[in-house]
Each structure stands twice: as structure tokens, then as C-alpha cells.
A = this chain, B = another copy of it.
Amino acid sequence: MTAHRFYFEDFLVGRTVEVGQVTVDEAEIIEFATRFDPQPFHIDPVAAEKSMFGGIIASGWHTCSMMMRAMVDGYLADSASLGSPGVDEVRWLKPVRGGDVLTISSTVLESVPSTSRPDRGVIFTSWEARNQNDELVATIKGRGMFLRRPA
């Protein structure tokens, strides 16, 4: 079995870690949204300028995906992750635009050992993305299953 850096035990309730920074690229915003969320304010600079957003903004799903990448690089890739059954709340609070620099952090909310499978447990986390003006732009309440550290 491969050894990992992070197991169930390593996610301490209340601890916040900054997992990474992401610089948002407008060309990628448009590319992502052209494929997955082709609303005018995500893909058409002229229409976006006239919209309530005043310019191109990222699809909320793109913002979530950028946050996910930070989580993978920050700890998931080197963890005993068994995947996730979903997330509990996603909020898109402020527009995310090209050139924004997002700082992504994760706080452990709850740690629940499995009662049926003693080798694992579920970690509940709150993910936050803040932009270069320290504005909270998006939050995700996530959950993931992790193996416990082998004895």
C-alpha cells in the first residue's frame, strides 16, 4: 500500500490551511464557458459589458473547478482520499474576472469516523476563495472520505 502524507487523523477540526493561489485567465474563462456554460456574460465581451456584471465573469462551475485544482495540489494528491459523495453548499458571492488572484483555503468543520468501516472516516470542510482585494468570492462546504493512518 502506498504511504500518503495525509490520512483521516491529519484533518484536525478547526484548523484552516491556505492550500494555494490561482490566477484567473479571461481566455480560459471564455473557453470553459463556451464548452459548459455559454451564457453571454461568460463568453461574449460586448454582451458582458452591457450586462449587470459589466464585463466577462467566470462560470461558477469554473470557479469551483479552479478551487478543486488548488485542493488537489494542496493536499488531496498526497492523501488517502477515497473520493467524495458530493458537496453541501456552493455560494458564488462576487464576480470572478480575468486577472483576479484567488487565494484558496480549507477549514476542517467536522471529522466523523465510519461506524461500519473502521479503516476510514468522513471529513467535512469549508473551502473559501478570496480575491486580491480580500473579498470572499466563493465558498464550498465539502466532504470527503479518507482512510485512517495504518497502525
Contacts and interface: CB of A to CB of B under 8 A. Distances in A.
Interface of A: 32, 35-39, 41, 52-53, 59-62, 64-66, 68-69, 72, 76-77, 81-93
A65 B39 contact: no
B39 A76 contact: yes
Given A61-B64, A61-B68, A86-B90, A77 B39 contact: yes
A148 to B, nearest CB: 16
A44 to B, nearest CB: 12
A77 B62 CA distance: 18
A42 to B, nearest CB: 9
Given A41-B83, A90-B86, A91-B85, A65 B72 contact: no
B69 A37 contact: yes
